[in-house]
A and B are shown apart, each in its own frame.
Chain A
Amino acid sequence: MTTTTRPRRAPRPSWLLLIPALGLLAAVLLVPLGQSLLTSVGAPGFTLEHYAALFTDGVTLTVLGRTVATAAIVTAVAFLLGYPYAYLMTRVGPRLRGVLLVIVLIPFWTSVMARNYAWIVLLQRGGPVQSVFEFFGADDIAFQGSVVGVTVAMSQVLLPFMVLPLFSSLGGIDRRLLLAARGLGSSPLVAFWKIYWPLSRGGVVSGLILVFTLSLGFYVTPALLGSPQQSLIAQLLAQRTTQLLDFAGAGALGILVLVITLTLVAWANRFGGTISAIGAAAATDRKEQR
C-alpha cells in the first residue's frame, strides 16, 4: 500500500543532466589517473618494477603503515567526539541545533592554511598546549613535528565529515522506538544498544569511511605540523613528484593508495549498504505517517 504512494522512477531523459558532471570528472580525474597508471607501468613499454620497488625500498611500507595507523586513530577520535555531539544535535531545540551546526561547520569555512597555522601556534614548542602538559609534569611530549600533533589537528579538521553524516542518520531515527523498547522490557541502556545503535550504523559507516579515506590522503596538515622523519604517504608522494621527479614511482604509489581506498569503500558499502537501506526505509515510513 505504501509503495503506490512513492514517486515513480524519474522519466528517461533525466540522465542527460549527468553529462556536465561526468564530462568534468572524465577530464580532470579519469584522464590524469589514466596517465599516472600508464606512467607507473613504464609506458610505452611495460614493467612492474615501480610497483615492486614500493615493497622493497624499505620506506614506502613503513610510511604506509604509519599513515594507516594515523588515519585509524584520527577516525576513532573523530567518532568518539562526533557520535555524542551528533546525538546531542538531534536532542536540542532548533536554535541550539543551529549553533552546534555552525560550530561544526566553522572549520569548513576557514582557510586550510589559517586552521593549520592556528594549530602550529597552539601546539608549538613552548606553546599553550605544551605548557599545560608541562605543568602536569609531562614535559617530554612534542606536539609539533610529531604524529601526535598531526593527529590532533587532523581530528579537528575532519570532525565535520564525521558529525554531518551521523547527524543526518541519527536525526532520522524515530525516538518512539526507544519508548516501545522500554515498554517491552528493555532498560534505557539496552534499548539504546539493541535499537538505536543498529539504526545509526549506516551513518556510522559513512562517517568512518569518509574520515578514514580523507585522512589517508591528508597532505597540508602533516606537511606543516609533522616532520620529514615521520612523514605520511601524501608527503612521500609530493616528495617523489616535486623533488625527485620520479613520476613512475609516484604513479605506482598513488595507484596503490587508490586501490587500498577503493577496496575499503567497497567493503564498507557491502557492510553498511544494507543497513543504510533499512535506515532509509524507516525514515520514509515515518514521513508517510505524518
Chain B
Amino acid sequence: MTISSTSRAGKPTSVASATKQGTQIRLEGVTKDYGLAAPAVDDISLTIEPGEFMTLLGPSGSGKTTTLNLIAGFETLTSGTIALNGSDVGSLPPHKRNLGMLFQNYALFPHMTVAQNVAYPLKERKVPKSEITRRVGEVLNLVQLPDRDGNYPSQLSGGQQQRVALARAIVFNPAALLLDEPLGALDRNLRAALQTEIRRIHREVGSTFVFVTHDQEEAMNLSDRIALFNSGHIEQVGSPEQLYREPDTLFTARFLGDSNVFDLDGAASATSAGWDGRTWSIAPGTVSSHPGASVRAAVVVRPEDVRVAHDPADVPSGSNSVGAVVRDLEYMGSYRTALLDLGRVRQLGRARVDALDSTFTVGDQVTAWWKPERQRIVAA
C-alpha cells in the first residue's frame, strides 16, 4: 500500500501536464439484460472525463466487462444512452466508434507481422503509406519495441505481445482506449512493469482510458478514478484514496484492502455508535452519506489504523477500543499483522504491529484501539 500511495502522490503534476485532448464518455441509464434473473448491467450512469484514467473494478460477473463491451459496441444496449463527446453512439457498430481496444489475450493477428498488425487500423482508415510507416515506427518506439517490427506475434513473449497490442490500439489516435483486463494473463513482475508502462503511455498520449480489472491493487495503482461494480450496478465512484479511506458501503470497504468490520447494533447516531454493548464515539465527517447508513450501519477500520496495547491504561483517551486475544501473528516483511479474537463468533480483527516489536505473542490478552477519525461508518 505504501508503494502505491507514493506513486499516486507523484501523479497529479503529470496529469496536469498532459494535454486534455481525450474524449468524454457519458453513460446514462445504461442497461443490458440477457433475459436472465437479473440484468447484467442495471441502469448505470457514469461520466468519464476527457483524458481521465477510469477503472471499472469489480468481482467477476459484476457487469464491468459488459459495460466496457457496451461502450465498444460489441454488445447492444437494452436501454440507456452512451455518448462520446456528447454525440450518441448507442446504435453505431464497433468499427464506426473509433475506439481502441486492448484484450486480455492480446488478439494480435497471427498471420501478420508486428508492423502489419500495428499498421492494420491505419490501413483501414486509408492513411497514406509513408505516413503509416512513420506512425508505426513512432508508436513502436513509444511501447519500447522498436526492432521487432518484422517478427510474427508467436515469436514474441506475452509481455511483448501486449505491448504490440497496445501500440496497435493507440496508433490511430482513437477517441478513447478501452482495456479489458489486459494484464490478466501476465505473471506478477511483468504485470507491474506493464502497469508502469500503461501509466506512462496514458500520460504521454493524454487520451481517455477505460480500464477493466478485478484486481484492486492494479486499480489503485493506475486510476484517476475507480467505478466499483457490484452485481450490475455501480457501488461507488471516486479516486482510489476516496474509495479506500471513505467507503460508502461495506462492499466497497471489503473489496478494497483489508478492513475490520463491526456490524453495529442499529443505525449510528451523529456522535456515537453501539457495538456488542460498547459505545464508541464518532468523529465528524466520518459517516457515509449513503442512504443505507441511516438504516443499518457498520464501523470500518483499516488494520494499519488499529493499535494494540497490553495495558488498557496505555490507550489514549478519546479512542475507541475493544478487548481481544492475539490469535496469530503473520509476518509480512516490513510489518506484522496480528489476528485478534474479539470474543465474537467468527469475527477476527486485524491490526498492524511493528515487525521489530517482539512484545506480543500468541495468546496475549490485549486491547485494540483506534482514533475515531480513522474509522468510517458505512451502510451495511
A residues bordering B, Cβ < 8 Å?
A: 1-2, 174, 176-177, 179-187, 190-191, 194-195, 198-199, 275, 278-279, 281-282, 284-286, 289
Contacts and interface: CB of A to CB of B under 8 A. Distances in A.
Contact of B103 (A176, A191, A285): A176
Given A281-B154, A289-B185, A185 B110 contact: no
Given A1-B158, A195-B109, A185 B103 contact: no
A190 to B, nearest CB: 7
B32 to A, nearest CB: 17
B157 interface: yes
Contacts of B294: none
B105 interface: yes
Contacts of A195: 109
B120 interface: yes
Interface class of chain A by DSSP: helix
Contact of B111 (A181, A278, A284, A285): A278
Contacts of B120: 181, 184, 194
B335 interface: no
B103 A184 contact: no
Nearest to B161: A285
Contacts of B185: 289
A179 B121 contact: no
7 closest A-B pairs by CB: A282-B110, A180-B107, A185-B124, A183-B101, A184-B121, A281-B154, A1-B157
Nearest to B105: A289
A278 B111 CA distance: 6
B172 interface: yes
Interface string B93-109: 11100111101010101
B111 A183 contact: no
Given A182-B74, A183-B95, A282 B158 contact: no
Nearest to B124: A185
Contacts of B178: 183
Contacts of B158: 1-2
A77 B99 CA distance: 41
Nearest to A178: B107
Contact of A275 (B101, B107, B111): B111
B214 interface: no
Given A182-B93, A182-B95, A183-B99, A190 B157 contact: no
6 contacts: A174-B105, A176-B105, A177-B107, A179-B107, A185-B125, A186-B95
B168 interface: yes
Nearest to B110: A282
A284 B99 CA distance: 29
B107 A176 contact: yes
A174 B74 CA distance: 16
Nearest to A198: B111
Contacts of A174: 105, 107
B262 interface: no
A285 B124 contact: no
A98 B182 CA distance: 35
B72 interface: yes
Contacts of B72: 183
A184 B105 contact: no
A119 B196 CA distance: 68
A278 B105 contact: no
Nearest to B160: A1
B111 A185 contact: no
Given A183-B72, A183-B99, A187-B95, A177 B154 contact: no
B253 to A, nearest CB: 34
B152 interface: yes
Contact of A199 (B93, B110, B154, B169): B110
B368 to A, nearest CB: 45
Given A182-B93, A184-B168, 20 more contacts: A1-B157, A177-B109, A177-B110, A180-B101, A180-B103, A181-B120, A182-B94, A183-B72, A183-B74, A183-B100, A183-B101, A183-B178, A184-B95, A184-B100, A184-B169, A186-B95, A281-B152, A282-B110, A284-B154, A289-B105
Contacts of A176: 103, 105, 107
Contacts of B103: 176, 179-180
A177 B154 CA distance: 14
B167 to A, nearest CB: 12
Interface in B92-140: 93-95, 98-101, 103, 105, 107, 109-111, 120-121, 124-125
A184 B124 contact: yes
Nearest to A191: B95
A2 B157 contact: yes
A211 B220 CA distance: 58
A184 B111 contact: no
Nearest to A190: B124
A182 B94 CA distance: 6
Contacts of A187: 93, 95
B107 A185 contact: no
Nearest to A177: B107
Contacts of B153: 285
Contacts of A282: 110-111, 154
Most B C-beta atoms less than 10 A away, residue of A174, A184, A195: A184
